[in-house]
Amino acid sequence: MATTAFWPVYNHLKETIDYAENPDKTIERKYVDEDLYKTLQYAENSDKTDETMYVSAVNCPKQKAYEYMMRTKRRYRESGKIVGYHGYQSFAAGEVTPEDAHQIGLETAKRMWGGQYEVVVTTHLNTGHLHNHFVANSTSFVTGKKFRNQIKDHKRFREISDAVCQEHNKSVLKDAPFYGGEKGAYWIHKNGGKTHRDILKEDMEYCLREAYSVRDLIRRLNAIGYDCDFNPNHEHWTVRAADWDRAVRIDKLGFTKERLKKEFDGHKLWEHSFNAVGFYLLEHPIYKPKVYPVNRLLKEMEYELDHASGAEAAAAALVFILFAILIAIIKLTREQDDYKPRTPGLRKLITEAPKIEQEYRLLIDNNISSMQELFDYHDGLEAQIKSLEADRQKLRNKIRRCDNEEEKTDLKQQAKDITKQLTPLREQNKITDRIEHRAPELQRMLVLERGLELQAYTQQKNQRNYDRSR
């Protein structure tokens, strides 16, 4: 029973190949002795390399896979961000031997990529479940075209793996649902975040605790930023937020019509009259915002910038303004239990508060206000990282050629020192990359939130005027 997956590799093809070929994971225990380097030399020169290391390549020599892949890219002048694809094929514990696993992996790679792309296949033996790693070039050595990485390719990968496993009399997961969008949700949950479906489910529970009818539930959902299609003639009821591409079926989240009816019956009014409804709403009011922070914060910051440095400063400091407002909203949600942003997307964003605070701190510490300053900072980080990586690679090359143990120890320490310098730079690089991707989304969210705040404020103001006139 093999499970499969693969994902794009951005900019670090050599590191991915190095990881896949890591001898600590691919060499059987009996071949790993105190002098791992000498063992590797023996394995590379042996006619039985695949029996000892379980490393193979398709359409290129395994010892020069990286060079061949880069040669293909240079030949076709291919310089995109996605440089390759890293995949895995994992087997149930005890079901396959290393030889079987590697053979299945090799056949899978040939059927999936073999006619068009260079691929490295390795079998890792370092866990209870034997598993293969695949590193495929993103550029075809035949046509120069890029591998498209469509959802049908992931399905095809699994189908090929299942077919090869069955040919080798190994079990497969029959009728297993394909992960589709759930893969994205898995990684979001793994990193402590929430999907928009998670937010909708929480909001449905929040509204359903008080709602006494379908109409009342719609009003409560409308109040926190959702549009509802609860047409009684429709089989499936859906909910959609303004910033979503499509609506979500609520029965898929566990809110069937039967469950809704049961919840409503639990809140049944002693008599369905105007007075009964009025008293119920007094005890269980629909959410009404008491504060409008986005509108206020935008006005405050725009005023300060306009009077300090002129109108152009507001545009130049856009990134800082966006994150400062978001941090203020996060603080407000912590201090006031009854405050809830009206945009579901913004509520989802707030669940990533630790990351957002990390991003805001980077902007402050490095005096970054605009997107251009952010791009310049990012370019500087990448230049430092590349320079240090090149220095470390030179040291590693020296280590391979060095026969003097004392000198080798010193070179290894120098390489470790560079790694220590690289660690914080890479972390800052990740944070900067997150800011670049988050800023446009955040701007869109805050514009939408400001519009909903003004709408809610106008509605409440009109209601107060109506009450006074009665």
Regarding whether 152 and 16 lie in a shared domain, the answer is yes
401: Cα separation from own chain's centroid? 40
Q: Is there a single domain that holds both residue 18 and residue 115?
A: yes
- Burial label for 61, CB within 10 Å (0-12, 13-18, 19+), is exposed
Same domain, 14 and 130: yes
Final residue in a domain of this structure, among 251, 283, 315: 283
Residue 310 has pLDDT above 70, yes or no: no
Could you tell me the sign of the dihedral formed by the alpha carbons of 210, 213, 214, 219, in that order?
Answer: negative
Angle, alpha carbons 205-209-215 (nearest 5°):
95
Of 283, 305, 331, the position where a domain reaches its end is: 283
User: Quick one: tokens of 199?
Assistant: 């937010």
Of 58-72, 259-273, 322-336, give the lowest mean pLDDT range.
259-273
pLDDT at 88: 82
Query: Does residue 217 sit in helix, strand or coil?
Result: helix
pLDDT tier, 42 (very low <50, low <70, confident <90, very high otherwise): very low
Q: Which residue(s) pair with 9 in the sheet?
A: 84
| Residue 107: closest CA among 168, 185, 197 | 168
328 in the same domain as 256: no
Q: Is the pLDDT of residue 110 over 90?
A: yes
Number of other residues whose CB lies within 10 A of the CB of residue 189: 13
For residues 149 and 209, membership in a common domain is answered with no
- Give the Cα separation of 21 and 43 in Å (integer): 13
pTM exceeds 0.85 for this model: no
Domain end position, chosen among 130, 148, 180: 180
My answer on whether 314 and 404 are in the same domain is yes
If asked whether residues 167 and 24 sit together in one domain, one would say: yes
What pairing do the DSSP bridges indicate for beta strands 226-229 and 131-137? Answer: unpaired
Quick check: 48 pLDDT over 70? no
Q: Do residue 321 and residue 423 come from a single domain?
A: yes
Q: How many whole angstroms separate alpha carbon 249 and alpha carbon 239?
A: 7
* pLDDT digits 0-9 by tens, 3-33: 676 667 665 555 554 545 454 444 343 333 2
Q: What is the mean pLDDT of residues 383-412?
A: 91
What pLDDT sits at residue 391?
A: 93
Considering the domain architecture, whether residues 307 and 277 belong to the same structural domain is answered as no
The whole domain housing 230 covers 193-283
Domain presence at residue 94: yes
Residues 305, 251 share a domain: no
Pair (99, 161) in one structural domain: yes
* Residue 377: band (very low, low, confident or very high) from pLDDT cuts 50, 70, 90: very high
Q: Is residue 186 part of a domain?
A: no
The answer to whether position 16 is within a domain reads yes
112 and 71 in a single domain? The answer is: yes
Alpha helices in 92-225 (DSSP H): 98-112, 151-167, 182-190, 196-208, 214-223
- Kindly state the percentage of the chain with pLDDT values over 90: 17
Instruction: Quote the CA–CA distance of 459 and 452 in Å, as a whole number.
Output: 10
